[in-house]
Amino acid sequence: MTTAPLSDLVVLETSGDIATRYCGKLFAAHGARVIQAYLPDNRGIGYGSVATDAYAAWLDAGKETGAAPPDTRVNLIIAGQTSAEVAAAETLAAGMSPRPLLLALTWFGPHGPYAGWSATDGVIQAMTGVAYAIGEKDGPPILPQGHAPQIVAGATGLIAALSALIGRRAGHPVDRVETNVLEAHLCFAEHAGPGFFKGGPASQRRGVNRYMPVYPQTIFPSADGWIGVTALTPLQWQELCRMIGLPEVAEDPRFATTDQRLAACEILDEILAPALKQYTTTYLLEEGQRRRIPLAPVPDMQGLLDTPHWRERGSFARFDGFEGPAMPFRLHPRGPGAGTAWNGPDPLGKGPLAGLRVLDLSMGWSGPLTGRHYADLGAEVVKVEGCAHIDWWRGWNALEAGDPPPYELRANFNAVNRNKRGIALDLTKPDGADLLRRLAAGCDVLIENYAPGVLTRLGFGPEAMAAVNPRLVYISMGAFGSVGPWSGFRASGSTTEQAAGMPFLQGEAHWPPTMQHTAYGDPVAGIYAAVATLIALYGRERTGGTTIDLSQVECLFQLAADGIIAQSATGEPPPRTGSRRADRAWRGCLRCAGSDAWVAVDLDDWNRLAAMGLRVDGLVSWAAARSPQDAAAALQRAGIIAGPVTPAHRLLEDSHLGVVGFWRQAERRYAGTHLVPKPPYALDGTSPPLRRPSPTLGEHNEEVLRSLLGLSAPQVADLVQDGIIGNRAI
């Protein structure tokens, strides 16, 4: 694999749970030599027995085992997930010459009240706002199955580590990178943007498959299975109702907006469910997509493995005796002659990616999160919108009027677009199209998550942009990928979770397939797009510019891998057991003192309660007399893994997040002082800075066009006059 993008890297795994092993897997899958210098502990992973062995084999595929030969030059050490294991790796790295980069990947990081705590994936999900919203209205919250937090953290660790390696190669000194599972998994709180403001609306548990702030964004039975339904915009809602014979509901003013529909979700469930059940899943999928409604089948694990679209894309790879998810993106390099010469990052810049330039044509959550990782790590990121086509995360109902403009006040947009410059450019006009091509000619990365085919029709598809800039790394983030029978299908973050089959791994057996989130797939896709583009950038001198085909649904296969592999290895569907796991003495949520207050507990041995002077039958009353924080702290002191179940709107009050400075204040026109999360990694002990707030619409039109393209002030004024650029939505 000498031409693989990471083929010149040697990575040493010295310890770890799933997060560190998965990070190593990503390096190995793209050509790095990964040496696993410890004996992995497979207890508590996967679905047990043969399924656990298969999942472990998937995690460790492509790695060597044993100590690194004495003459081996190691580029990166991955260590975690305890402070002792990181300290041992630090000593090892200090004794090597040249010193390798150390990636310290822990549960909670080295500082703060939780630094000495232990965790499992379910407890992390409870502490980051995810588990609280899952389940029936009266509770208890449900702890998801699987290992999503550690998988997300492993991918986030690669983003930080590979960025540091790119910077090191260009002379930017970094010795140690840190990330932790808690902060990496807080990416799922981006959707609770209003909660970043004091006094924002409280998150609620509204029942199975009902999530703020939209409806319908749920799962219904069809005539022969299950269909995932998402209708965000007014047009999507109207088309959905007409498609299933409910034109009067489409026109009912009580249901005109997503907020109104969410408030009336119980009434609408009774109306929509029998109407949808008249039709087959295939009909609803194809007719809905024809009408531009993001509908998706909700398959069980075997149905997922058998889906023709995924078989045609090669979404599953064959391992020894089972199938598991392949990488969720395809790299298509243009070859070493395709403009591979580049200077790399500026070592004098702020951050390891300083000197790189990114053109961010994406909207919503997934693509902008990719761009934010680049911006946080020092790259220059230019976000492109249009006055007639603003980022839909500024608002997806009909454009609202007001002073200040409501589309400038969206906290979720402001959180995910920090550290970028923004321009508003009309790409449908020849002069606007020419400006975009000129910008692309000087960029290293182009990110797009437009509806399938839109940019190609406008003349900005990957082939056209490669002709403009052969060294460009161009990533398309279609929900179902760029090729295959479903490649033209539309989706939202909820659609991707539904289509990935994940709801068949969650919830109680008598519930419908159970979702975990309002837009689960969005932040996951954003992370993997950053992973894919950084891998391509690292190898660009050997492989040239690259076109990347990423499927947002396939990104979720990585998080569902234990369930997919269990189905393939055993031939049986993984059981749906709510919060419970067969390998734990007890796992779930206990009610605490206060209104709808809970503590998550993951107990491996009932005998641990004896250290607290408790009997099994006394645990419920013991928890009911304490706050979630006090109960979790007491259980942790007794060696029992636990954590408070935190609603998303109360993450601002979390003492640990306050101590580590997770919430930062930003000052922005219109929005004033507001809070944004810090990056989920630190370089040599320092978290990347907040350099600028998210851009207002067209805020940097003149600055970008003059500094990057050399336009004069009169030329910029002419563009304003001709409507090519602007700063007000129309």
Distance CA 438, CA 428 (A): 15
The answer to whether 362 and 371 are in contact (CB under 8 A) is yes
Per-residue b or e along 610-634, where b marks 16 or more CB atoms closer than 10 Å to that residue's CB: eebebeeeebeebbeebebbebbbb
How do residues 194-234 score in pLDDT, each as one tens digit?
455 555 667 889 999 999 888 999 999 999 999 999 998 89
CB atoms near residue 554 (< 10 Å) = 27
The answer to whether 208 and 220 are in contact (CB under 8 A) is no
> H/E element holding 221?
strand 217-221
Please give the residue range of the domain that contains residue 186.
Answer: 10-199
pLDDT attached to residue 337:
56
Long-range contacts at 666-669 (CB < 8 A, ≥ 24 apart) = 666/414, 666/418, 666/690, 666/693, 666/694, 667/693, 668/414, 668/693, 668/694, 668/696, 669/408, 669/696, 669/699
Report the half-sphere exposure of 270 (CA within 13 A, side-chain side). 3
Distances 32 to 11, 22, 25, 204 between C-alpha atoms, Å:
7, 14, 9, 44
Residue with tokens 């990365």: 445
Residue 313 within a domain? no
pLDDT attached to residue 410:
87
User: What total number of domains does the chain contain?
Assistant: 1
| 3-class SS of residue 476 | strand
User: Phi and psi (nearest 5°) for 312?
Assistant: -65, -35
Residue 138 within a domain? yes
pLDDT attached to residue 198:
55
Distance CA 338, CA 340 (A): 6
Distance CA 396, CA 519 (A): 14
Distance CA 342, CA 320 (A): 41
Residue 105 within a domain? yes
CATH of the domain at 24: 3.40.50.10540
Q: What is the pTM of this model?
A: 0.96
Which of 145, 13, 35 minimizes the C-alpha distance to 580?
145
β-bridge partners, 619: none
Residue 18 within a domain? yes
Distances 338 to 27, 351, 448, 545 between C-alpha atoms, Å:
24, 27, 21, 6
What residue spans of 293-451 are helical by DSSP H?
301-306, 308-313, 366-376, 411-416, 430-441
How do residues 292-302 score in pLDDT, each as one tens digit?
999 999 999 99
Residue 320 within a domain? no
Residue 703 within a domain? no
pLDDT attached to residue 62:
96
CB atoms near residue 655 (< 10 Å) = 12
pLDDT attached to residue 193:
54
Which of 328, 243, 362 minimizes the C-alpha distance to 294?
243
Residue 299 within a domain? no
The answer to whether 166 and 534 are in contact (CB under 8 A) is yes
Cα separation of the two ends of the chain: 51
CB atoms near residue 138 (< 10 Å) = 8
The Cα angle at residue 579 between residues 576 and 584, in degrees rounded to 5 = 100
Residue 368 within a domain? no
Low-confidence ranges of the chain (pLDDT < 70): 1-2, 191, 193-201, 337-349, 396-400
How do residues 617-630 score in pLDDT, each as one tens digit?
899 999 999 999 99
CB-based burial label for 594 (10 Å; 0-12, 13-18, 19+): exposed
